[in-house]
Chain A
Amino acid sequence: MTDSTNKEIGRQPSPYFGYLTKALGTLGSIATTMLGLLFITFVIGRVMPIDPIIAVLGERASKEAYDAMYIEMGLDKPVIIQFLNYIWDVVRGDFGMSLLNARPVVDDIIRVFPATLELATIGTMIGVVLGVPLGVVAAVNRGTWIDQIARVIALVGYSMPIFWLGLVGLLVFYGILGWVGGPGRIGIFYVDLVPTVTGLILVDSIIDGQWDVFWDAVSHIILPASLLGYYSLAYISRMTRSFMLEQMGAEYIITARVKGMSEWAVIWRHAFANIKVPLITVIALSYANLLEGSVLTEIIFAWPGIGSYITTALLSADMNAVLGGTVVVGLLFVCLNIFSDLLYKFFDPRAK
């Protein structure tokens, strides 16, 4: 480092100051996004046509009980105080009581969440394993029939109503062919056989060494996870293709070819090596999308995850559960988004 650059740095407070302000800025934007999210759920909770007090006490509550509840729930306070109370509750992990089973909503969410996580994770894995090679192959064979087929596969994936695909999949692979387990996470004979450690049945059964439970769980998850995987395949393969096209047009590829490298090495060792970073952010995004996209799939497959939980609560007007579930999914979604953003900034020097 020369003297002049040292002086320049010396003139600024500290090189770390820049990082600090940047980090604070990122934290600030995360905080505002989260606040905004809570604000939206708060507003939804306020404008809903259900009286929260009647929902708790029932139609025939006396005037005194009603008024007491009104004060207990803090509805007499100004809206801004109510909002702050709401934030404080959420920060403490208190989403209120479920009106259906009178248990804390957060307990229910912790119970159902691993099922969704398991489904979305396996789905994303399928999407990555199949989608990335498909995108690379399409890019390498650009403009040929292979590229066209890859395009149609992706477009069909974008266009398919997932609840319908789930129904047809169940009809064909379970109803007619009998290749996979039916709805639910596990067959009825295996319920509660495995002690809960992580809540992920696949992991728990391996920990416990119960392989028949494991294979039964696999036969149940494979169909819904494949369907979800198809959606992330569609997205991942298209993004991989366009990233690859960008790299394959670059000059260093020509240099590598001129040097006499094999096409395989050019594609995988050079071009593909350079798209890993954007690809990881795409995968993180598609994972986030699967977490929420599993709502309809879970209903078709009677999968006891957070999607089923929110929908059941919704149909029985259990607003605490609906909003609690929405906040959790929303927070996760925001976190994954930010994570993929940070990842990109961290690995790609151009983004700095």
Chain B
Amino acid sequence: MNSAPETKGSARQLEAWLLSNTPTSRRHARLGSLYKGWLKLKSNKLAMLGLFILIALVVIAILAPIISPADPFEQNLGNRLKPLGTEGHFLGTDSLGRDLLSRLIYGSQITLYIVALVALIAPVAGLFVGTMAGYLGGWADVVLMRVTDIFLAFPRLVLALAFVAALGAGIENAVIAISLTAWPPYARIARAETLTIRNSDYISAVKLQGAGGLRIIVKHIWPLCISSLIVRVTLDMAGIILAAAGLGFLGLGAQPPSPEWGAMVSEGRKFILDHWWVATVPGLAIFTVSLGFNLLGDGLRDVLDPKDSGDE
């Protein structure tokens, strides 16, 4: 009973400490600015909705074995194409009698898997190329940026299609194909950031202390590129999800019986006129998740990169 006001008091203390105008240490200042960013993000209701959708996605993916009502692969031909709200099958069943809700729940794992892999590969590759080009300058810059421009000029989905055609269909190859088409914008951003950082005084100071090129790039340039990359990644995630779902829909991504959402739409397509929910429900899931990323990305951009948002 007594503890409630006390924790409230300490929470207020913590807030005052975070919002302090005179930070006492580097970590204090960093936490404080993080907290201010969070407050700004929190005031954006749409961004909060996006964050909520993504947290729900992660929770569902982790708890999939516990919360899914049935085995997503178990077929029951006597029970096929049951409509929404059927006893025991809340979202109905597909053409092989598999529970759609369970397949959706397990499909969230695949979506997260693809998103996480691409989000790890593409920005890191772009960061590497961009900072190298920006820091080294000269010929290295010209060559690296020309390669980037070539990839940037290429239509992304068609390029991904051609890559998958060469590598073979499958979820890993889809990830590789999407990453190959996704890294150039990151390289552009990282290079632009590097060019503005390269000649600043603190880099000269580090150089005078005898730091080598690699050390300067990794420890002193990369950290400053991160925030603009994060915004870009969040905004890109929606496109990545849509690309992966598109590949799945074409039968070039995850292979059956995997409950990938795009492939599920494609399966349900044959029954769209009489059994609309089989194709519609997984499509709604794709839409919800990519909307979540877009909402959050839009809000993050306002917080981290105000010059870009057109607000304030």
Known contacts A159-B287, A330-B154: A311-B249 contact under CB 8 Å: no
Q: Which of B57-65, B101-109, B129-137, B157-165 contacts A (4 or more CB under 8 A)?
A: B157-165
Known contacts A159-B290, A161-B245, A333-B153: A170-B250 contact under CB 8 Å: no
In the complex, which of the residues A36, A168, A292 contacts B157, with contact meaning CB atoms closer than 8 Å? A292
Cα distance, A287 to B232, chains bound together (Å):
23
Residues from chain A with Cβ under 8 Å of B168 in the complex: 49
Q: How far is the CB of B88 from chain A (nearest CB, A)?
A: 26
Cα distance, A322 to B252, chains bound together (Å):
14
Q: How far is the CB of A239 from chain B (nearest CB, A)?
A: 10
Least CB separation from B308: chain A residue:
A242
Asked if B310 is an interface residue, CB under 8 A from chain A, the answer is yes
Band of interface residues on B: 35 or more
| Per-residue interface assignment for chain A, residues 9 to 50, with 1 indicating a CB less than 8 Å from any chain B CB and 0 otherwise | 000000000000000000001001100110011001101110
Report yes or no: A44 in contact with B252, Cβ–Cβ below 8 A. Answer: no
Asked if A236 is an interface residue, CB under 8 A from chain B, the answer is no
Report yes or no: A33 in contact with B153, Cβ–Cβ below 8 A. Answer: yes
Cα distance, A89 to B279, chains bound together (Å):
43
Band of interface residues on A: 35 or more
Cα distance, A48 to B173, chains bound together (Å):
13
Residue from the set A49, A167, A315 with the largest chain B CB neighbour count within 10 Å:
A167
Asked if A67 is an interface residue, CB under 8 A from chain B, the answer is no
Residues from chain B with Cβ under 8 Å of A330 in the complex: 153-155, 158-159
Report yes or no: B283 in contact with A36, Cβ–Cβ below 8 A. Answer: no
Asked if B294 is an interface residue, CB under 8 A from chain A, the answer is yes
Report yes or no: A337 in contact with B165, Cβ–Cβ below 8 A. Answer: no
| Per-residue interface assignment for chain A, residues 268 to 309, with 1 indicating a CB less than 8 Å from any chain B CB and 0 otherwise | 000000000000000000001101110110010000000000
Cα distance, A37 to B249, chains bound together (Å):
26
Q: How far is the CB of A302 from chain B (nearest CB, A)?
A: 12
Report yes or no: B153 in contact with A329, Cβ–Cβ below 8 A. Answer: no
Residues from chain B with Cβ under 8 Å of A33 in the complex: 146, 149-150, 153
Report yes or no: A155 in contact with B294, Cβ–Cβ below 8 A. Answer: yes
Known contacts A155-B295, A161-B287: A41-B149 contact under CB 8 Å: no
Report yes or no: A326 in contact with B146, Cβ–Cβ below 8 A. Answer: no
| Per-residue interface assignment for chain B, residues 65 to 85, with 1 indicating a CB less than 8 Å from any chain A CB and 0 otherwise | 000000000000000000000
Of residues 156 to 213 in B, which have CB atoms within 8 Å of A's CB atoms? Answer: 156-159, 161-168
Residues from chain B with Cβ under 8 Å of A170 in the complex: 272
Q: How far is the CB of B79 from chain A (nearest CB, A)?
A: 24
Asked if A160 is an interface residue, CB under 8 A from chain B, the answer is yes
Asked if A202 is an interface residue, CB under 8 A from chain B, the answer is no
Asked if A129 is an interface residue, CB under 8 A from chain B, the answer is no
Residues from chain B with Cβ under 8 Å of A175 in the complex: 272-273
Report yes or no: A44 in contact with B162, Cβ–Cβ below 8 A. Answer: yes
Residue from the set B155, B158, B249 with the largest chain A CB neighbour count within 10 Å:
B158
Cα distance, A45 to B262, chains bound together (Å):
27
Residues from chain A with Cβ under 8 Å of B149 in the complex: 29, 33
Report yes or no: B279 in contact with A164, Cβ–Cβ below 8 A. Answer: yes
Asked if B89 is an interface residue, CB under 8 A from chain A, the answer is no
Report yes or no: A295 in contact with B238, Cβ–Cβ below 8 A. Answer: no
Report yes or no: A246 in contact with B310, Cβ–Cβ below 8 A. Answer: yes
Cα distance, A246 to B311, chains bound together (Å):
10
Cα distance, A255 to B293, chains bound together (Å):
41
Residues from chain B with Cβ under 8 Å of A162 in the complex: 242, 246
CB<8 Å pairs between A and B, sample of 22: A33-B149, A37-B150, A37-B154, A41-B162, A49-B168, A142-B311, A152-B46, A155-B291, A159-B293, A161-B246, A161-B283, A164-B286, A242-B310, A291-B155, A296-B250, A314-B165, A315-B250, A326-B158, A326-B161, A330-B153, A330-B159, A337-B153
Beyond the given A291-B155, A293-B157, A333-B155, please list 15 additional residue pairs across the A-B interface where CB-CB is below 8 A: A29-B146, A32-B150, A33-B150, A44-B162, A44-B165, A155-B291, A155-B298, A160-B287, A162-B242, A163-B265, A167-B279, A168-B283, A310-B161, A326-B161, A330-B159
